């Protein structure tokens, strides 16, 4: 993985740029000391590190806009950063760039239960939203495993999901409005507290754009009523193929669980050693299914799913009879990533999505790739929607193992595309999958996506080096952008 070489002009302008930032944000809002910059050198994809030119810590939308205007004036690149939990290198800094940290914008601005929404700043953690409305019987549905730490702004940037995305959708399905600052400092609002807009779906474009189009400074999220009843069941299987067949049968029966997760043997053992959730250690695969809704409906679905699981060879069937037991069943799955960290010095967390029916074949091929690359792999799946999270185990202190892990991960992602899937389900492209984009998109596709970036960021200063393997100048693409409310070509008709 290579990042762009530092721009000598940007480095030369750094002292004047930092002085201008301090004047706008105050001395406490800017970090430039090399030692103090060290905590910002990486994100959740810890294999890569880079000290940024400086860090800005704005306290308001106005300060975000000021920082972007100043960066534009000096030609300084900008990397937005939330909580830094990105697993694709999306918040990896640049040596000649400003890291724009949004952690100080961390207030819940309004809770509007009448419209079933909340307005929050981007630094609010995912779980904090649900905690704020739990007393009134509401919650925010997307629940990434890092929800105790990840910020809602980062969730918007990566279109995060979680174990309940099968029924309730990803971040994009749970947003109503955004406030976004463009690279030129202009503040725009898309959506609102209403359900739909009659205009272009700019919110859909901005969600999952990985900080390449604008900086999110306010988010209006959809709140849901807590279901009357939620129950979980789990069962072990003699093979991942058998568990995958049970998943297909459940969906094929017209049942849409709130969540449906799979773990293979290495992940089962790591999670059980970590949290003692009562997982079956003799199983090759574990399936967890949660049903929610009115009690009578949940009881019926639990019976139907249990029958399907048993008919596909499930053993040790366990069904939660209390909220405590339900949370215990989920505890191991929620802690799977840190649990793997206890059995390997390092691990490389991948993210790809495949058609559900291809799961058995992909698992077989993944086993072959594990032997080929000489590295172990533990698998955790959002089984219901085919989102895979293989965890490649390696030791960065052993020469060549990081490179082997990267090659193994790239082969897994190419396999996902080969069977009709996609490069990412919820972690984003970032730098991790950037050079694999041509395996999924042809040059015309990539050029069209870059034209969209040019419409928002004509100088290509926002998070460059991410997503696109080659970032072409906007003039080369024949891209247009609106500036000062006017089109750049006066001969074109105005509407």
Q: What is the CATH number of the domain that holds 326?
A: 3.30.70.2190
Report the pLDDT value the prediction gives residue 56, as an integer from 0 to 100: 98
Is the same domain home to 145 and 215? yes
Is the same domain home to 349 and 314? no
Average pLDDT over residues 363-370: 92
Q: What is the CATH number of the domain that holds 370?
A: 3.30.70.2740
Residue 1 within a domain: no
Residue 437 within a domain: no
pLDDT of 30 over the 90 cut: yes
Report the pLDDT value the prediction gives residue 402, as an integer from 0 to 100: 93
Residue 43 within a domain: yes
Average pLDDT over residues 335-358: 90
Residue 333 within a domain: yes
What is the rounded CA–CA span in Å between residue 433 and residue 65?
30
Average pLDDT over residues 47-57: 93
Last residue of a domain, one of 205, 225, 245: 225
Q: What is the CATH number of the domain that holds 13?
A: 3.30.43.10
Residue 3 within a domain: no
Name the domain count of the chain: 5
| Beta-sheet strand order (sheet of 215-222) | 108-112, 117-120, 215-222, 175-181, 187-191
Report the pLDDT value the prediction gives residue 217, as an integer from 0 to 100: 98
Is the same domain home to 214 and 112? yes
pLDDT of 7 over the 90 cut: no
Report the pLDDT value the prediction gives residue 494, as an integer from 0 to 100: 30
Give 72-83 pLDDT, tens digit per residue.
999 999 999 999
Cβ(31)–Cβ(37) under 8 Å?
yes
Is the same domain home to 221 and 234? no
Report the pLDDT value the prediction gives residue 45, as an integer from 0 to 100: 74
Report the pLDDT value the prediction gives residue 485, as an integer from 0 to 100: 40
Report the pLDDT value the prediction gives residue 384, as an integer from 0 to 100: 85
Please state, for a pLDDT cut of 90, what percent of the chain lies above it: 81
Give 229-281 pLDDT, tens digit per residue.
999 999 999 998 899 899 989 999 999 999 999 999 999 999 999 999 999 99
Residue 299 within a domain: yes
Last residue of a domain, one of 432, 462, 482: 432
- In which domain, by residue range, is 353 found? 344-432
What is the rounded CA–CA span in Å between residue 389 and residue 340?
12
pLDDT of 3 over the 80 cut: no
List Cβ neighbours of 424 (8 Å cut-off, separation of 6 or more): 88, 351, 352, 353, 433
Q: Which of 146, 115, 170, 212 is nearest to 461 (CA)?
A: 212
Is the same domain home to 113 and 215? yes
Is the same domain home to 250 and 309? yes
Residue 372's pLDDT band, with cuts at 50, 70 and 90, is very high
Is the same domain home to 120 and 94? no
Q: What is the CATH number of the domain that holds 118?
A: 3.30.465.10
Long-range (24+ apart) CB contacts under 8 A made by 249-256 are 249/308, 249/311, 249/312, 250/289, 250/305, 250/308, 250/309, 251/356, 251/384, 253/304, 253/308, 255/291, 255/301, 255/304, 255/305, 256/166, 256/167, 256/384
Is the same domain home to 476 and 385? no
Pairing of strands 187-191, 175-181: antiparallel
pLDDT of 491 over the 80 cut: no
Is the same domain home to 131 and 162? yes
To which H or E segment does residue 180 belong? strand 175-181
Average pLDDT over residues 207-229: 97
pLDDT of 140 over the 90 cut: yes
Give 428-446 pLDDT, tens digit per residue.
999 999 999 999 999 999 9
Last residue of a domain, one of 101, 130, 149: 101
What's the predicted TM-score (pTM) here?
0.91
Give 376-431 pLDDT, tens digit per residue.
999 998 988 889 999 999 999 999 999 999 999 999 999 999 999 999 989 999 99
- The helix/strand/coil state of 204 is helix
Give 167-200 pLDDT, tens digit per residue.
999 999 999 999 999 999 999 999 988 776 667 8
Handedness of CA 33, 38, 39, 43 (dihedral sign): positive
- The helix/strand/coil state of 288 is strand
Is the same domain home to 359 and 420? yes
Report the pLDDT value the prediction gives residue 479, as an integer from 0 to 100: 63
Report the pLDDT value the prediction gives residue 480, as an integer from 0 to 100: 53
Is the same domain home to 49 and 136? no
Structure tokens belonging to residue 217: 């400074």
pLDDT of 481 over the 60 cut: no
Is the same domain home to 391 and 470? no
List Cβ neighbours of 434 (8 Å cut-off, separation of 6 or more): 1, 465, 466, 467, 468, 469
Residue 371 within a domain: yes
Residue 362 within a domain: yes
Most confident of 157-166, 215-224, 336-345, 478-487: 215-224
Tell me what the pLDDT averaged over the chain comes to: 92
């Amino acid at each position: 993985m290579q990042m762009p070489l530092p721009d000598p002009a940007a480095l030369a302008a750094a002292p004047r740029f930092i002085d201008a930032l301090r004047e706008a944000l105050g001395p406490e809002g800017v970090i430039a000391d090399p030692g103090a910059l060290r905590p910002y050198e990486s994100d959740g994809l810890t294999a890569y590190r880079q000290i940024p030119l400086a860090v800005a810590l704005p306290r308001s939308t106005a300060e975000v806009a000021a920082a972007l205007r100043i960066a534009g004036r000096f030609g300084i690149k900008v990397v937005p950063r939330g909580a830094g939990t990105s697993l694709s290198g999306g918040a990896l800094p640049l040596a000649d760039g400003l890291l724009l940290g949004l952690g100080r914008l961390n207030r819940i601005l309004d809770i509007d239960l009448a419209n079933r929404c909340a307005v929050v700043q981007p630094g609010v953690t995912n779980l904090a939203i649900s905690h704020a409305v739990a007393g009134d019987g509401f919650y925010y549905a997307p629940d990434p495993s890092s929800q105790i730490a990840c910020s809602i702004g980062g969730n918007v940037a990566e279109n995060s999901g979680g174990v309940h995305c099968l029924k309730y959708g990803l971040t994009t399905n749970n947003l109503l409005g955004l406030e976004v600052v463009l690279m030129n400092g202009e503040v725009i609002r898309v959506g609102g507290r209403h359900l739909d807009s009659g205009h272009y779906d700019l919110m859909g474009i901005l969600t999952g754009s990985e900080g390449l189009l604008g900086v999110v400074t306010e988010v209006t999220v959809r709140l849901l009523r807590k279901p009357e009843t939620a129950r979980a069941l789990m069962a072990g299987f003699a093979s991942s193929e058998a568990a995958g067949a049970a998943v297909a049968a459940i969906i094929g029966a017209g049942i849409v669980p709130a969540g449906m997760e799979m773990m293979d043997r290495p992940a089962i053992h790591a999670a059980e050693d970590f949290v003692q959730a009562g997982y079956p250690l003799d199983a090759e695969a574990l399936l967890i299914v949660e049903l929610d809704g009115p009690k009578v409906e949940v009881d019926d679905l639990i019976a139907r799913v249990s029958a399907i699981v048993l008919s596909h060879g499930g053993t040790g069937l366990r069904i939660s009879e209390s909220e405590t037991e339900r949370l215990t069943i989920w505890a191991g799955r929620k802690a799977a990533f840190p649990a793997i960290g206890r059995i390997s010095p390092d691990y490389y967390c991948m993210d790809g999505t495949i058609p559900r029916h291809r799961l058995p074949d992909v698992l077989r091929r993944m086993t072959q790739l594990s032997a080929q690359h000489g590295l172990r792999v533990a698998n955790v799946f959002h089984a219901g929607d085919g989102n895979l999270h293989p965890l490649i185990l390696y030791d960065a202190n052993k020469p060549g193992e990081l490179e082997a892990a990267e090659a193994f991960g790239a082969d897994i992602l190419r396999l996902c595309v080969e069977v009709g899937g996609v490069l990412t389900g919820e972690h984003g492209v970032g730098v991790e999958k950037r050079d694999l984009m041509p395996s999924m998109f042809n040059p015309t596709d990539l050029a069209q996506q870059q034209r969209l970036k040019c419409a928002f960021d004509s100088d290509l200063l926002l998070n460059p080096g991410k997503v696109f393997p080659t970032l072409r100048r906007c003039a080369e693409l024949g891209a247009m952008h609106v500036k000062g409310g006017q089109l750049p070509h006066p001969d074109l008709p105005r509407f």
